[in-house]
Amino acid sequence: MLQPDPGYYARYNTKLLECMTADAATVLEIGCGQGELARQYKRSNPRCRYFGVEANQDAAAGARKHLDVVVTADVQTLERADIPGLVQPVDCLVYGDVLEHLADPWATLERHREWLAPNGQVLACVPNVQYWEVLRDLLRGKWEYQAQGVLDATHLRFFTLHSLVDMFKKTGFEVLDVLPLYFEADADAARPFLHALTPAAAHCGVDPATLERQALAKQYVLRATRTRPPRLALKMPASPGPAYHRRIFAPLRCFFSLPGVRVTDLLPNLPAPVGEDKVYVHDGQALCGASGLETLRTLLRANTCIVADCHEDPFEAPAQQESRYLALRGAHAVQVSSATLAERVRKLNPNLAVFPDQLERIDPFDPPDMAPDTPVRVFLPAAPGPERWDWGALLPCLKGCHARRVMFVVACDESGENALCDADLLARLGPDATRVATTDLAYAAVARSCHLALLPPAQHSGEAWSELPLLECGAHGLACLAAARTWGRSLVHGQNGLLFEDAAGCREQLDALLADATLRRGLAAAAYAAVRDRRMLALHIRTRYNWYRRLIQSLPELTRDLKRRVPELFAG
């Protein structure tokens, strides 16, 4: 008998993960294997309740390490009451390579549809029997079952794109989209064969380009809902700079998972549904000069809601000044990273929302070794983007700490800058002070190897423009010591960190942390819990979505305000 790869149950589908509703309160995965998809998903949404059904007992045992509840059962006879604790409607129902194994997937879908929340979505990954290798072998008279793949020996049902969509429609679902999964290595080998089929395709009335798209897809990921949600097209163009990922791309990936949202940057080839609303979110520094003016005019002609993202003081940016702050004034609304920035930007555009930085993922709490002879590693993180920190006043109070088995680890930002990376300044921290690499993986690994973090005051007054460094330190399991002037709204002194007012206070609190491993671990655990429970991007993405929806509803009024504010946008 054909046996699947030993790692079959330990795999997860990255496209399914991308499509899973980012903020789902309840997830039910049919065929959860050893729980790897759940483990990855819970890094982004750790508060969700994740249920799984798995027929293989050994795989189910492994899945229980990562899921809240795992039931070993045949999904075709399983009733909802058989899943302990599944009392709430399901927000995200996942079939990862399951439906093709069922004798009657139609009946299963009809029954499970009633388990889904009114606004919930179902995801299904299904192999494509129209895949070019299957077509080629059929022409050769071959239909040979395999240990895994499209012709897996355990498959009972086979689907093309058309029959897959038809099954979901006939079982009462609204199909939102179907994403083909291509494998580039196969495409080069497939195209000569598909080109040779062109006459046959034409004879059957099949467009050759359509045949190629469908025959190159090895699998499909289908997304569907019980009721059709409002449709929203979201575009967030790429822009240079370290803030792009946290302010633009990470939210974009979350939006991609929400039912009814089409992120044009990630799905550029899917047709636009009728009645789709449009929102264009750009970096607040990107649209300047004549080209920026023309881009804004084009968006307005297309009845697009324009939102600018601002994560730094525009009055300190020469390009903004030269363009008379066109990117911010010329938007219908502006989203900013802090209340301090909101007060500054309000002078340019009164339509504002504050969306602080959030973390996209978090790993399990795993602080480093605290053996008595282990040096205490103090992490000095980098300021995000253009923000600058004032290390000068703190250096004298740090002098001499290295004599107490303390090691300072200095991080620099993506441009390689940090005021402490100068060799002379590093020397003032002691002989063991180290500068670390700037890549995301290196930065995270080095941060996790440390025991506490020191966050200085910013050079500007008021709170930090971005809380990202503090959030990252908490997520990596570090006890945080921070300047009250900049971080006082972000930390609760004595609960999830310690605050200081001046250099003397910094040294006093630092001495307390160096002397007390229990205090360090307690603050680190509380900081981690605060990030996990309140500062994950998935928990806040719906707030941003609802704000975009309100902007769209008010678009005529906002456009009139924009015309009064920037009349040159409507000239000509």
Residue 291: pLDDT above 90? no
**Is residue 396 within a helix (H) or strand (E), and if so which, with residue range?**
helix 395-398
* Last-in-domain residue among 225, 259, 277: 225
238 lies in some domain: yes
Strand residue runs (E) in 337-491: 352-354, 376-380, 406-410, 434-435, 452-455, 479-483
Q: Are residues 129 and 172 in the same domain?
A: yes
pLDDT bracket for residue 1 (50, 70, 90): low
Q: Are residues 85 and 106 in the same domain?
A: yes
Residue 505: pLDDT above 60? yes
- Check residue 383 and give its pLDDT: 75
Q: Are residues 396 and 523 in the same domain?
A: yes
Which one has a higher pLDDT value, 556 or 249?
556
pTM value? 0.90
> CATH number for the domain including 351?
3.40.50
Q: Are residues 409 and 514 in the same domain?
A: yes
CB-based contacts of 66, cutoff 8 Å, min separation 6: 35, 36, 38, 39, 42, 50
Q: Are residues 394 and 276 in the same domain?
A: no
User: Where would I find the H helices in 8-102?
Assistant: 14-19, 36-44, 57-63
Which one has a higher pLDDT value, 507 or 318?
507
Q: Are residues 398 and 341 in the same domain?
A: no
Lowest mean pLDDT among 18-22, 356-360, 365-369: 365-369
* Last-in-domain residue among 192, 225, 258: 225
Lowest mean pLDDT among 67-71, 365-369, 514-518: 365-369
What are the tens digits of pLDDT across the range 220-263?
999 999 999 999 999 877 665 667 778 888 898 899 999 999 88
366 lies in some domain: no
CB 219 within 8 A of CB 125: yes
Edge-to-edge strand ranges of the sheet holding 26-30: 69-71, 49-53, 26-30, 90-96, 116-127, 219-225, 174-181
Q: Are residues 247 and 101 in the same domain?
A: no
SS (H, E, C) 53-78: ECCCHHHHHHHCCCCCEEECCCCCCC
- Check residue 108 and give its pLDDT: 97
Bridge partners (DSSP) of residue 279 are: 234, 305
d(CA 400, CA 406): 9
353 lies in some domain: yes
* Last-in-domain residue among 165, 200, 225: 225
203 lies in some domain: no
Lowest mean pLDDT among 211-220, 321-330, 401-410, 512-521: 401-410
> CATH number for the domain including 90?
3.40.50.150
Q: Are residues 355 and 393 in the same domain?
A: no
CA 428 to chain centre: 39
- Check residue 268 and give its pLDDT: 47
Round the average pLDDT of the chain to a whole number and report it. Answer: 88
pLDDT bracket for residue 156 (50, 70, 90): very high
Residue 382: pLDDT above 80? no
Lowest mean pLDDT among 463-472, 504-513, 548-557: 463-472
Residue 170: pLDDT above 90? yes
State residue 568 phi and psi, 5-degree precision: -65, -20
CB 334 within 8 A of CB 352: yes
How do strand 116-127 and strand 219-225 relate by DSSP bridges? antiparallel
CB-based contacts of 35, cutoff 8 Å, min separation 6: 52, 62, 63, 64, 65, 66, 67, 70
Which one has a higher pLDDT value, 534 or 2?
534
CB 452 within 8 A of CB 443: no
The domain total for the chain is 3
**Counting Cβ atoms within 10 Å, is residue 431 exposed (0-12), middle (13-18) or buried (19+)?**
exposed
How do strand 69-71 and strand 277-283 relate by DSSP bridges? unpaired
189 lies in some domain: no
190 lies in some domain: no
Distant-in-sequence contacts of 45-51, Cβ < 8 A, 24+ apart: 45/536, 45/538, 45/539, 46/362, 46/532, 46/536, 47/532, 47/533, 47/536, 47/539, 48/24, 49/25, 49/85, 49/88, 51/26, 51/27, 51/83, 51/85, 51/86
Question: Among residues of the chain, what percentage have pLDDT more than 90?
Answer: 63
User: Angle at which helices 440-448 and 468-475 pack, to 10 degrees?
Assistant: 60
Number of neighbours of residue 448 by Cβ within 10 angstroms = 16
pLDDT bracket for residue 162 (50, 70, 90): very high
Q: Are residues 476 and 552 in the same domain?
A: no
2 lies in some domain: no
371 lies in some domain: no
What are the tens digits of pLDDT across the range 371-381?
767 788 899 88
Q: Are residues 42 and 93 in the same domain?
A: yes
> CATH number for the domain including 524?
3.40.50.2000
d(CA 292, CA 294): 5
Residue 76: pLDDT above 80? yes
What are the tens digits of pLDDT across the range 446-463?
888 899 999 999 876 667
pLDDT bracket for residue 420 (50, 70, 90): low
Residue 79: pLDDT above 70? yes
* Domain ranges, residue 237: 232-359+541-570
Lowest mean pLDDT among 34-48, 183-197, 426-440: 426-440
Q: Are residues 524 and 441 in the same domain?
A: yes
Summarize the confidence of residues 273-290 as an average pLDDT: 82
Summarize the confidence of residues 180-199 as an average pLDDT: 87
CB 392 within 8 A of CB 399: no
- Check residue 184 and give its pLDDT: 72
Q: Are residues 384 and 347 in the same domain?
A: no
